[in-house]
Amino acid sequence: GAVVSQHPSWVICKSGTSVKIECRSLDFQATTMFWYRQFPKQSLMLMATSNEGSKATYEQGVEKDKFLINHASLTLSTLTVTSAHPEDSSFYICSALRWGSGAVGYEQYFGPGTRLTVT
């Protein structure tokens, strides 16, 4: 099956610093990836759609200058949390769309998540 990895799996950073999270599709190319944020015991909130070679599409209420997304290759999307603050502490999950599979013509594969703690 298709595999999506995230790095790092967890990170602790100081308030005011920036943190970069990587999402990789290991055995397929993904022109579309998604970034989600999950608070404890809550659902996944879609933050943005990452499109290879073009700007990301952000959901309403998500600050694009704070959460920078770069999808520079067909297998890698990065999320950079700039000037992180404690309220940015969360579990960040990415997913990658694999076209040409699944009943709908595509299937979404999820990474294992990255736990960010800002102190």
Partner 1 sequence: GEDVEQSLFLSVREGDSSVINCTYTDSSSTYLYWYKQEPGAGLQLLTYIFSNMDMKQDQRLTVLLNKKDKHLSLRIADTQTGDSAIYFCAESFMASNTGKLIFGQGTTLQVKP
φ and ψ of 8, to 5 deg: -80, 175
Q: Which residues pair with 34 in a beta bridge?
A: 49, 95
Closest distance to partner 1 from the beta carbon of 22 (Å):
14
* Binding-site size, partner 1 (CB under 8 A): 23
Q: How far is the CB of 92 from partner 1 (least distance, A)?
A: 10
Q: Of 94, 112, 101, 91, which Cα lies nearest the Cα of 32?
A: 94
Choose which of 13, 46, 62, 74 interacts with partner 1 (CB under 8 A): 46
C-alpha dihedral sign at 47, 26, 76, 28: negative
Is 100 a residue that touches partner 1 (CB under 8 A)?
Answer: no
Contacts to partner 1 by CB under 8 A: 4, 6, 32, 34, 41-44, 46, 49, 93, 95, 97, 103-104, 106-108, 110-113, 115
